[in-house]
Amino acid sequence: MTIRADVADKGQVQHAAEAAIKEYGHLDLLVNNAGVTLIGEVGDYTIEDWEWIVGINLWGTIYGLHYVLPHMIERRSGHIVNVASAAGLISMPGNAAYCATKFGIVGLSEVLRAELARHNIGVTVICPAGIVTEFEKNARVKGWSKFKPGSYVKSYGRTPEVVANKIVSTIEKETFLVIIGAEARLLYAIKRFFPRLYYRIGVIMARRLEHFR
């Protein structure tokens, strides 16, 4: 059954969840996957830009949880997959709003994992690096007239099928944190074990953003 819904609209998310439960009797799996990105430096964002990305990326995940979780708790069964990003673990200059929403999803998932263990509900948070989709091409770009969306993902990204298969296998294994992409795992390791180097890399990356203007 397919239901079209705007995840930033709590009423539409509620309708989708209730319709699915009515049709099938129960829900075993919730995957919060919808997301958008905002590219540019923080000083170029408008309040409307912030509201747009937070509404979809973070509130969309919260709404999904709010309308499905009570059903899973009552049944003492289910699994929640929150698709965050490598940007939920490491800073990405030029992607502050996106990082803010994805860091929020990672933190939310960590708490959920602890709270839902006694209810027999699994939690997985997926943190992939670039995936070859139209995601970046559909981004809002602010202040960067020379930026060409999609160049990095086209060269280094992995296919949606690779990520989807990884998600399925991690649900079966009940794995919590899954980082997809060698570049993401490397930067996350540098952040954890060499924080000064990690900060320095961020400063260098941020300085190089000027050539996009």
* In contact, 101 and 58? CB cutoff 8 Å: yes
How far is C-alpha 105 from the chain's CA centre? 7
Give the catalytic positions in this structure.
98
Q: How many Cα neighbours within 13 Å face the side chain of 174?
A: 8
b/e for 87-119, b at 16 or more Cβ within 10 A?
bbbbbbbbbbbbbbbbbbbbebbeebbeebeee
- Alpha-carbon Rg for the chain, nearest whole angstrom, is 18
CA–CA dist 67, 64 (Å, integer): 6
